[in-house]
Amino acid sequence: MTSATTPSSTKPSGPRRPAPRSAPAAAEERIITLPDLSARLQEYLSPEAVAEVERAFHYAKAAHEGQMRKTGHPYITHPTAVAHILAGMRMDPQTLMAALLHDVIEDTGVGKKTLAEAFGSDVAELVDGVSKLTTIFKSRAEAQAENFQKMALAMARDIRVILVKLADRLHNMRTLGALAREKKERIARETLDYYAPIASRLGMNELRMEFEDLAFQALYPMRAERIGRAVQAARGHRKALMEEIAAALEKCLASEGIEARVLGREKHLFSIYQKMRQKQKAFADIMDVFGFRIIVDRPDTCYRVLGALHGLYKPLAGRFKDYIAIPKANGYQSLHTTLFGMHGVPIEIQIRTQQMEAVASNGIAGHWLYKSDEQSPSQARAREWVKGLLELQQRAGNSLEFIENLKIDLFPDEVYVFTPKGRILELPQRASPVDFAYAVHTDIGNTCVACRVDRRLAPLSVQLQSGQTVEIITSEDARPNPDWLSFVVTGKARSSIRHALKHQQVAESRTLGRRLLNRSLANVDTNLASLPSQRISDVLDELGFDTLDDLLEDIGLGNRMAYVVAQHLTQGGGEEAALTVEHGGPLAIRGTEGLVVAYGKCCYPLPGEPVVGHLSSGRGLVVHLEVCRNLAELRERNEALIPVRWAAEVDGEYSVELRVEVEARKGVIAELAAEITDADANIEKINIAERNAHLSTVVIALLVRDRVHLARIMRRLRRLTPVIGLARTRNI
């Protein structure tokens, strides 16, 4: 038999869960007392466990004695409400005690060690993980970033930390009304940016929806009120049609002998608002879609239900998703399909088992709802995600970079791709093969040079699609390319590339610094290897460096002049050293120096052309043409220019820019691109600078090996029929 319920009468059976709340009800949050908490605990805990939780309550009440909330209530009402929320998820006694004590370390004189002696190390660790940092940081953004970093570390030790933190934030959101508007909006924005996505990432859908609706009401109270009233009005008009559709669905399933529960579902306020904004849809268009959830006993029954419903109503092409065979990263499983129902109305259907329903609503907390000795799939995925957060944290240059990567990681519209061995990897939309490579292993990403997508060579920047098989080609000598940062989307790829480039730059800047310093020392017929170690040590102390490598790195990055350091090493330095003019033979540019040698984008120097170097602080050596106009400005500022020359053998590719005047006709860009590609050159970018009815000026940035290579390309382009004029762009 099947049964149908409309949204107003839906009462899902199974383990008790906190009911979703709508935003307008937020101000009516009732005060949770110890009897309320105890009554809920007695539903599933032993008397001994309940007594332990009550002991934590009395301890917290004594610690917070005299403290009041902005609402005017005693502070103990807040941790009691947090524990009550977690009790609704059937959390274990240690988590509930931590919830009651979660502000004790931060707001009272009780320390972590004292808590451990009173309630055990598990509870103390949970409380410490939830507590905010008390250090004063430069800005609120940095303080919040540090808080999330600490929370990530605590989550790695015990995933229950995040559950306490989410319940803590939920109660604070329910009682936002007592705060000043500016603070209320800041907390609401933070909730939308971090806490709601974290709840979603952990599969806690009901929590996410309440976060979003409460934050929506705080940020846009008038919009929330208007949409709420519109939903109430529409509910009356929809009721009869909802019942009619539900009856048709249950009749279809009954005829197939399938036992199921058919539940009507409504979109929450923030979801409606988002669709109205992002998809530019009217409220009526969104409310025209009817949603139902069908709950069955076993996974194979889900597919039987799908077949039956596709026989009842015509499915909408491209709208079927199988999250049972390929679950989402947070453990969510369900079949999704959209049907053209009676009267042509679209019907969105979700088909899942009761276990999948619990995970969909409560995510990792569903593990405690369904007692099990084994780690649930959602918990396993949550731990994998937290492990990934720790990797992000280790590679991040600072806490703000960590938060940037975290935000990227929290919004993964999934793409599912395969390794050559058939392993499935989940990546965000717009992910590239480089993201895929780093998802497999950091070393694979750092050494990737090319890729095959579905057995065909493809650019590393191509956007991957679900179902594709990706193979990464690596080379031991390869290293990350800074250009990858312009298209990678995963936090792991971004942080790994930055981490590798930072270390790569350190090594290269030290090498360049050594070359520059030895070149300056050559003026007095010596070099670093010939200098007494004591003299080098004295100069390091004098200049404030711990090691010679640190000094060489500073020289290579352009932060310190090599000739000044050379004078310190040979003459004792002095204030007048900064005014000495550099002498000595030119520094040879090989093209393999990496990140610490850059080439001026103003004049695009090529191997074989007369060049000069300029040390730019933080960038290292920048090479310009000797006739570059920008050098005059550098000389006016008395900045040091270093004689450089091209080595006898130069490696690599160099940027150059061409301006091409062509006849304005169809396909001319393709002709230019094909000719350049045939000449074995790579195009960096191509755009039309000017255009009229007859002529177009096309600017092409490309990579060439040297002047000879460029000359060959220009000859080939001049031979093309539509090309009228051609010139190299140089700032001379």
CATH number at residue 151: 1.10.3210.10
CATH number at residue 706: 3.30.70.260
Residue 398 forms part of a structural domain: no
- Catalytic option among 106, 190, 244, 288: 106
Residue 8 forms part of a structural domain: no
Secondary-structure percent of the chain, ordered helix, strand, coil, rounded to 5: 55, 15, 30
Residue 207 forms part of a structural domain: no
Name the nearest CA neighbour of 164 among 59, 69, 83: 83
CATH number at residue 485: 3.10.20.30
Q: Are residues 503 and 642 in the same domain?
A: yes
Q: Are residues 246 and 358 in the same domain?
A: yes
User: Quick one: pLDDT band at residue 163, thresholds 50, 70, 90?
Assistant: confident
Tell me: pLDDT of 130 over 90.
no
554 is catalytic: no
List C-alpha distances in Å: 432 to 90, 460, 487, 707.
Answer: 41, 6, 7, 34
Q: Are residues 267 and 336 in the same domain?
A: yes
Res 5: pLDDT: 36
| Residue 641: its H or E element | strand 641-646
Q: Are residues 317 and 420 in the same domain?
A: no
Give the contacts of 188 (CB within 8 A, at least 6 positions apart). Answer: 173, 176, 214, 215, 218, 219
Q: Which of 142-146, 205-209, 233-237, 590-594 has the highest mean pLDDT?
A: 205-209
Rounded to an integer, what distance in angstroms lies between the CA atom of residue 300 and that of residue 35? 44
Tell me: pLDDT of 376 over 60.
no
- Final residue in a domain of this structure, among 143, 174, 205: 174
Residue 436 forms part of a structural domain: yes
- Average the pLDDT over 23-46 and give the result: 77
Tell me: pLDDT of 546 over 50.
yes
- Catalytic option among 36, 107, 288, 348: 107
- Average the pLDDT over 67-89 and give the result: 89
Q: Write the pLDDT tens digit of every residue in 673-692.
A: 888 888 888 888 888 877 77
How many helices (H) and strands (E) would you count in the chain? 29, 21
Residues across the chain:
732
User: Domain range spanning residue 49?
Assistant: 30-174
Rg for the chain (alpha carbons), in Å?
33
Residue 547 forms part of a structural domain: yes
- Average the pLDDT over 286-294 and give the result: 78
List C-alpha distances in Å: 638 to 449, 561, 568, 644.
Answer: 42, 13, 21, 18
Res 17: pLDDT: 39
Rounded to an integer, what distance in angstroms lies between the CA atom of residue 410 and that of residue 421? 28
Tell me: pLDDT of 58 over 90.
yes
Tell me: pLDDT of 379 over 60.
no
Starting from the edge strand earliest in sequence, which strands make up the sheet with 448-453, in order? Answer: 456-458, 448-453, 470-474
Q: Are residues 624 and 689 in the same domain?
A: no
Q: Where are the beta strands (DSSP E) in 354-454?
A: 414-418, 424-428, 448-453
Res 551: pLDDT: 85
Domain count, the chain: 5
Rounded to an integer, what distance in angstroms lies between the CA atom of residue 323 and that of residue 317? 17
Q: What percent of the chain is modeled with pLDDT above 90?
A: 14
Tell me: pLDDT of 152 over 70.
no
Higher pLDDT, 110 or 24: 110
Print burial letters for 76-112: b (CB count within 10 Å at least 16), e (below 16). Answer: bbbbbbbbbbbbbbbbebbbbbbbbbbbbbeebebee
Res 214: pLDDT: 92
Q: Are residues 127 and 100 in the same domain?
A: yes
Residue 345 forms part of a structural domain: yes
- Final residue in a domain of this structure, among 489, 512, 531: 489
Q: Which of 132-136, 285-289, 460-464, 565-569 has the highest mean pLDDT?
A: 460-464
Q: Write the pLDDT tens digit of every residue in 360-375.
A: 776 666 545 444 444 5
Q: Which of 251-255, 518-522, 664-668 has the highest mean pLDDT?
A: 251-255
- Region for residue 185 given its phi and psi (left: phi exceeds 0; alpha: psi -120 to 50; beta: otherwise): alpha
Tell me: pLDDT of 225 over 60.
yes
Q: Are residues 60 and 123 in the same domain?
A: yes
Rounded to an integer, what distance in angstroms lies between the CA atom of residue 550 and that of residue 544? 10
Q: Are residues 354 and 454 in the same domain?
A: no
Residue 15 CB neighbour total at 10 angstroms: 19
Name the nearest CA neighbour of 56 among 111, 116, 109, 98: 98
Res 369: pLDDT: 45
Q: Are residues 276 and 365 in the same domain?
A: yes
508 is catalytic: no
Tell me: pLDDT of 580 over 60.
no
Residue 199 forms part of a structural domain: no
Both tokens of residue 307?
């077949």
Range with lowest mean pLDDT among 202-216, 265-279, 369-383: 369-383
Q: Write the pLDDT tens digit of every residue in 303-335.
A: 999 999 988 888 887 778 888 887 776 677 889
Query: Residue 412 pairs with which residues in a beta bridge?
Result: none
Tell me: pLDDT of 55 over 80.
yes
Both tokens of residue 41?
């605990």
- Final residue in a domain of this structure, among 335, 369, 403: 369
Higher pLDDT, 397 or 416: 416
Q: Are residues 615 and 673 in the same domain?
A: no
Give the contacts of 174 (CB within 8 A, at least 6 positions apart). Answer: 21, 26, 29, 81, 214
Higher pLDDT, 91 or 18: 91
CATH number at residue 249: 3.30.460.10
Q: Are residues 624 and 673 in the same domain?
A: no
Higher pLDDT, 667 or 591: 667
Q: Are residues 239 and 340 in the same domain?
A: yes
Q: Which of 7-21, 138-152, 653-667 has the highest mean pLDDT?
A: 653-667
Q: What percent of the chain is modeled with pLDDT above 70?
A: 78
Tell me: pLDDT of 574 over 50.
no
8 A C-beta contact, residue 338 and residue 291 = no
Residue 387 forms part of a structural domain: no
Tell me: pLDDT of 141 over 60.
no
Higher pLDDT, 318 or 269: 269
User: Quick one: pLDDT band at residue 4, thresholds 50, 70, 90?
Assistant: very low
The whole-chain average pLDDT of the chain stands at: 78
- Average the pLDDT over 150-170 and give the result: 73
